[in-house]
């Protein structure tokens, strides 16, 4: 029998506190919803990281049945995602649900070690002037999902070089127990100096302090970024996203 989960506590118990599921549920506040069946859980919320998303977890048979139910409840605009192997099995069981793309979900269960003070240079901090952030992103990362003023994008951190904003990262679409790192970008004039790693390490510590753990999404082809995140301590999980076909 399919059971709708009504609280974050119920959800955490049902999915072994899986960070991707807990992030997608957004604390089951607002429009977040979740269901359980047998050994599977599906949970999602609208407009997180610019998409209506459903995280899928558990055994493929129950997960496929749950996903069919959830899409019937929430509509075909939702994008299912989950571990790549599971989603391959789930999409094979569902007509009209097909692979959309693959990337990595990376999670950080504890605060990373700080960068030694001897190499810190100018300090990282929260940035109030979002116009500067927007200008940097427009030039250095025009396809970033996280931009100043977007719904769910909470705050920006950055580091300056000679007073000029050189690298940034955001706390965006965070859930009550999972902070999400997004919007990482470095001005082209300052690349190669480790500034992005410095900002990401600082924001990651802030996210773990605020939410208990941190996570991010990264394209698998971005080996440089993945290397940075792994040095900070993030653990990588291959993920597949799907979509409902007409």
Burial class for 33, CB neighbours closer than 10 Å (0-12, 13-18, 19+): buried
CATH code: domain 117-212 is 3.40.630.30
Structural domain boundaries in the chain: 3-103+239-244, 117-212
Q: Containing H/E element for 191?
A: none
* 8 A C-beta contact, residue 231 and residue 197: yes
Exposed e or buried b per residue across 135-165, where buried means at least 16 C-beta atoms within 10 angstroms of its C-beta: ebbeebbeebbbbbebebbeebbbbbeeeeb
- The pair of three-digit structure tokens given for residue 112, joined into one six-digit string: 């990373």
What's the confidence (pLDDT) of residue 115?
A: 67
Q: What is the pLDDT along the chain (246 residues), one digit of tens a residue?
A: 999 999 999 999 999 999 999 999 999 988 999 999 999 999 999 999 999 999 999 999 999 999 999 999 999 999 999 999 999 999 999 999 999 999 999 999 987 877 655 445 568 999 998 999 999 999 999 999 999 999 999 999 999 999 999 999 999 999 999 999 999 999 999 999 999 999 999 999 999 999 999 999 999 999 999 999 999 999 999 999 999 998
What's the confidence (pLDDT) of residue 222?
A: 95
What's the confidence (pLDDT) of residue 88?
A: 98
What's the confidence (pLDDT) of residue 118?
A: 45
What's the confidence (pLDDT) of residue 116?
A: 56
What's the confidence (pLDDT) of residue 22?
A: 98
What's the confidence (pLDDT) of residue 113?
A: 72
Widest CA span in the chain = 61
What's the confidence (pLDDT) of residue 30?
A: 86
DSSP string, 58-109: E-HHHHHHHHHHHHHHH-TT-EEEEEHHHHHHHHHHSTTEEEEEEEEEEEES
């Amino acid at each position: 029998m399919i059971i709708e989960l009504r609280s974050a506590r119920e959800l955490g118990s049902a999915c072994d506190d899986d960070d991707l599921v807990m992030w997608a549920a957004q604390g089951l506040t607002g429009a977040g919803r979740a269901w359980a069946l047998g050994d599977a859980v599906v949970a999602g919320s609208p407009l997180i990281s610019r998409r209506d998303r459903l995280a899928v977890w558990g055994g493929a048979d129950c997960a496929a049945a749950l996903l069919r139910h959830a899409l019937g409840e929430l509509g075909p605009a939702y994008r299912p995602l989950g571990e790549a192997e599971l989603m391959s099995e789930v999409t094979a069981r569902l007509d009209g649900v097909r692979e959309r793309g693959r990337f990595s979900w990376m999670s950080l269960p504890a605060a990373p070690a700080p960068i030694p003070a001897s190499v810190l240079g100018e300090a990282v901090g929260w940035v109030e002037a979002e116009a500067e952030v927007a200008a940097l992103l427009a030039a250095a990362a025009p396809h970033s999902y996280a931009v100043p003023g977007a719904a769910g994008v909470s705050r920006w951190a950055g580091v300056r070089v000679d007073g000029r904003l050189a690298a940034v990262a955001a706390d965006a679409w965070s859930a009550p127990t999972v902070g999400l790192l997004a919007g990482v970008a470095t001005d082209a004039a300052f690349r190669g100096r480790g500034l992005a790693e410095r900002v990401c390490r600082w924001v990651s510590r802030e996210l773990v302090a605020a939410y208990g753990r941190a996570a991010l999404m990264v394209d698998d082809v971005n080996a440089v970024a993945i290397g940075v995140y792994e040095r900070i301590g993030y653990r990588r999980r291959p993920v597949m996203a799907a979509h409902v076909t007409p």
